[in-house]
Amino acid sequence: MRKTLQRSILCGFIVMAFATPARSADKMLIEGFEGKSGLTGVKTQDAKIAPADGGLRIDMGHAHDWPGITIVAPKGRWNLSAWSSISIDVRNVGAAEVTLNCRVDNPGANGVKNCNTFSLTLAPGKSGILTGSFIRKNESGVKLFGMRGYPPAAGANSPRAIDLKNVTQILIFVGKSKTDHSVIIDNITATGPYTPPKSPNNFLPMIDEFGQYMHRDWPGKIHTLKDFATTDAAEAKDLAAHPGPKKWNAYGGWSDGPKLKATGYFRTTKHKGKWWLVDPEGRLFWSHGIDCVHSHAATPISDREHYFVKLPDAKSMFSKYYSRGSWAPHGYYKNHTPYRTYDFATANLRRKHDDRWDKIFADKTHQRLRSWGMNTIANWSDAKIYLTRKTPYVGTIHTNTPKMEGSKGYWGKFHDVFDPDFARAVIKRMEREKGKSAGDPMCIGYFVDNELAWGNDVSLAMAALASGPDQAAKKAFIADMKAKYSSITKLNAAWGTQHKSWSALATSRTTPDPKKAREDLTAFYTKTAETYFKTVRDAVKKVAPNQLYLGCRFAWVNNLAARAAAKYCDVVCYNQYKFSVEKLSLPGQLDKPIVIGEFHFGALDRGMFHTGLRKARDQKHRAELYAAYVQGALRNPMIVGTHWFQYKDQATTGRGDGENYQIGFVDICDTPYTETIEASRSVGYQMYEYRMKAK
């Protein structure tokens, strides 16, 4: 934050004296809020602005859904086509955590189309850089599909793609806040020189024989087969130099910490005001782990074989990594199943370690986790790896159960927990863990299901009523209403409905006014949620009484569902793709341990096309975000672990639903991301002492 900025009121909005954009080899200053040449208008919406510390202070209210400012381009437009990304210095000078958004507009922008939007979350008093990579209009002349993120030259697949030669305005704002916010911004800068793509005839193929993007280079990229041996040798030296924390026991518990009651299995306890796990030896344990510990990362190739430079022929030893897929809940392949796949990740392990790759990879994975300061193999992982019983792990349980016809969800419909087949299916699936994870001291416990569609606090009750007359959930709801109202006339009076009979209600798929029927809807929602958690808890404990029930991994949740989870789960799990979970808690001051089932950050400086759900500027910034997130969790007295999603980058061209995120600790060629690994070590090696001292 630098010099003072001049301002005056003109034509109903504030006008400021801005500097002409300054350009260097690696960046262009769009606006630094200083200088006197040229005028640019700044429109305010439920916001006040003033010069501060050489930048611009913005005080935003919360009467409007989108309070903030709009900076209009001088002379009508900025030409940012020479650059790859935008960055803004931000300091939160308000009293509340803020998520600040930056929107870069073309003409006709509406928040969905013709604009790029980026965000940054900051705690009070904290500073950071709001950054994002531009999604460009297609400059390659090719049409790509089957991915969430695309090469910079092929952004036209996204409705948000913009023409960077015609940027008309930049918006800075918060969204639908319930409180006031104040920030100081400075140095709106275009960064990262952009190299235009080759001609359309030369752009495809774009993926090399190792599954990497061909039209860019970066540190650690594999160019020849010899590079696998080079990176493997370098990592071997690194692992030898960092064998793992000296103060951990065989489970990864705190051997130098307090000695509590040993039960031979993992359990929970509250020690000196903080929740902890306790390992089988009675040592305090905090679960620092990673999801998807496995070798594979298959990508669909059907209809797009021309993306790849050198897919193996049928006689090649690498042809065994072809397969077929059918899982595609979203994206292009949802309507194009089954589809052929190729697994570059596993093929690369074969190149790296020859025929013994699977055993070498499993052994090295355990060595890596210990070296990286991690003590948990988390969800979605390979039983062949975790059942070698060298690292504590969690079980992943999914069932094929009857669904509630009237329900909706991102990953599918909700279970009909009142159907007797639901309980039978969960028990049957748990019984498959006998002789494997059930009764294994290395097994911390079980996650059952993932990111269920809990909706709002009446949604599951409304879904039951929107289902057919044979739906068990609907029968249960109607039975409750019969017991409460005794006659359909009384129910109609309460709900404002006109059902002629109970049988008419059963056949109707019309739902009542949620305000008029709220008391009954929320009561049945609670009954549904509690039936779900109790049924699953009972099945887990019947088969594995000594293991923990870790919940269903909330992504979307309301207070009624969270309360039901806290009633029956040993640990409540949240997948939290945020920048901090330091203040995360259960509703109503419920006191139960929490584990973070998923989080991640990604950047676009190593040949990948999508950052994942939380963006970082580069690998250094990603490492900083990782350390800050885990340390914030360590300071939270309720959190007993964080599990990063995931071990390996997703395929460059995406999995079945198109996800192609740069979110691994290793890349598609099994090369470690040293920056994030160093951050994991810096946190993990000292996490017990840090948590014990945190206030």
Q: What CATH number did the domain enclosing 344 receive? A: 3.20.20.80
Report pLDDT for 198.
Answer: 61
Residue 11 has pLDDT above 70, yes or no: no
Compute the distance between CA of residue 99 and CA of residue 122 in angstroms, rounded to an integer. Answer: 7
The answer to the question of residue 272 being in a domain is yes
**Burial class of residue 435, CB neighbours in 10 A (0-12, 13-18, 19+):** exposed
Q: What percent of the chain has pLDDT over 90?
A: 84
When pLDDT is cut at 50, 70 and 90, the band that residue 1 belongs to is very low
User: Taking residues 224-246, what's their average pLDDT?
Assistant: 98
Task: Give yes or no: residues 605 and 669 share one domain.
Answer: yes
The answer to the question of residue 220 being in a domain is no
Q: What is the chain's mean pLDDT, rounded? A: 93
**What does DSSP say about strands 274-278 and 284-285: parallel, antiparallel, or unpaired?**
antiparallel
| Beta bridge mates, 248 | 254
Task: Give yes or no: residues 362 and 418 share one domain.
Answer: no
The 10 Å Cβ neighbour count of residue 166 is 18
Task: Give yes or no: residues 53 and 159 share one domain.
Answer: yes
When pLDDT is cut at 50, 70 and 90, the band that residue 36 belongs to is very low
**What does DSSP say about strands 274-278 and 27-31: parallel, antiparallel, or unpaired?**
unpaired
Report pLDDT for 209.
Answer: 98
Task: Give yes or no: residues 46 and 187 share one domain.
Answer: yes
Residue 374 has pLDDT above 90, yes or no: yes
**What does DSSP say about strands 68-72 and 169-173: parallel, antiparallel, or unpaired?**
antiparallel
Looking up residue 57, the CATH number of its domain turns out to be 2.60.120.430
User: Taking residues 386-409, what's their average pLDDT?
Assistant: 96
Establish whether the linkage from the previous residue to 545 is cis, with ω within 30° of 0: no
User: Taking residues 665-686, what's their average pLDDT?
Assistant: 98
| Beta bridge mates, 141 | none
In this predicted model, what pLDDT tens digit does every residue of 516-535 receive, in sequence order? 999 999 999 999 999 999 99
Task: Give yes or no: residues 156 and 123 share one domain.
Answer: yes
Q: How far is CA 469 from CA 465, 480, 532, in A?
A: 9, 15, 21
The answer to the question of residue 207 being in a domain is no
When pLDDT is cut at 50, 70 and 90, the band that residue 23 belongs to is low
Task: Give yes or no: residues 467 and 362 share one domain.
Answer: no
Report pLDDT for 397.
Answer: 98
- Name the residue range of residue 540's domain: 397-447+457-549
The answer to the question of residue 138 being in a domain is yes
- Report DSSP letters for 152-211, one per residue: GGGGGGSTT-B-TT-B-EEEEE--S-SS-EEEEEEEEEEEEE-PPPPPHHHH---B-TTS
In this predicted model, what pLDDT tens digit does every residue of 552-595 receive, in sequence order? 999 999 999 999 999 999 999 999 999 999 999 999 989 999 99
- The DSSP letter of residue 216 is -
The answer to the question of residue 1 being in a domain is no
Report pLDDT for 2.
Answer: 35
Helix (H) or strand (E) run with residue 393 in it: strand 393-397
Report pLDDT for 22.
Answer: 66
Q: How far is CA 340 from CA 207, 307, 327, 335, 655, in A?
A: 17, 14, 12, 14, 11
571-603 core/surface letters (b: 16 or more CB in 10 A; e: else): bbbbbbebbbbbebbbeeeeebbbbbbbbbbbb
Task: Give yes or no: residues 613 and 512 share one domain.
Answer: no
**What does DSSP say about strands 287-290 and 376-377: parallel, antiparallel, or unpaired?**
parallel
- CB-based contacts of 236: which residues, under 8 Å, 6+ apart? none
Report pLDDT for 309.
Answer: 96
Report pLDDT for 10.
Answer: 26
Residue 6 has pLDDT above 80, yes or no: no
Handedness of CA 110, 147, 621, 214 (dihedral sign): negative
The answer to the question of residue 452 being in a domain is no
Count the domains in the chain: 3
Task: Give yes or no: residues 189 and 296 share one domain.
Answer: no
User: Taking residues 111-138, what's their average pLDDT?
Assistant: 89
The answer to the question of residue 556 being in a domain is no
Task: Give yes or no: residues 566 and 544 share one domain.
Answer: no
The answer to the question of residue 631 being in a domain is yes
User: Taking residues 668-678, what's their average pLDDT?
Assistant: 98
**3 state DSSP class of 567:** helix
Task: Give yes or no: residues 375 and 271 share one domain.
Answer: yes
Task: Give yes or no: residues 366 and 346 share one domain.
Answer: yes
665-679 core/surface letters (b: 16 or more CB in 10 A; e: else): bbbbbbbbbbbbbbb
Task: Give yes or no: residues 127 and 63 share one domain.
Answer: yes
Report pLDDT for 19.
Answer: 45
Select from 550, 534, 525 the least CA-distant residue to 455. Answer: 525
**Structural contact between residues 651 and 297, judged by C-beta atoms closer than 8 angstroms:** yes
**What does DSSP say about strands 339-342 and 299-300: parallel, antiparallel, or unpaired?**
antiparallel
- CB-based contacts of 432: which residues, under 8 Å, 6+ apart? none
Helix (H) or strand (E) run with residue 602 in it: none
What is the rounded radius of gyration, in angstroms, for the C-alpha atoms of the chain?
Answer: 27
In this predicted model, what pLDDT tens digit does every residue of 149-206 receive, in sequence order? 888 766 545 677 899 999 999 999 999 999 999 999 999 999 988 877 666 667 899 9
Compute the distance between CA of residue 354 and CA of residue 498 in angstroms, rounded to an integer. Answer: 72
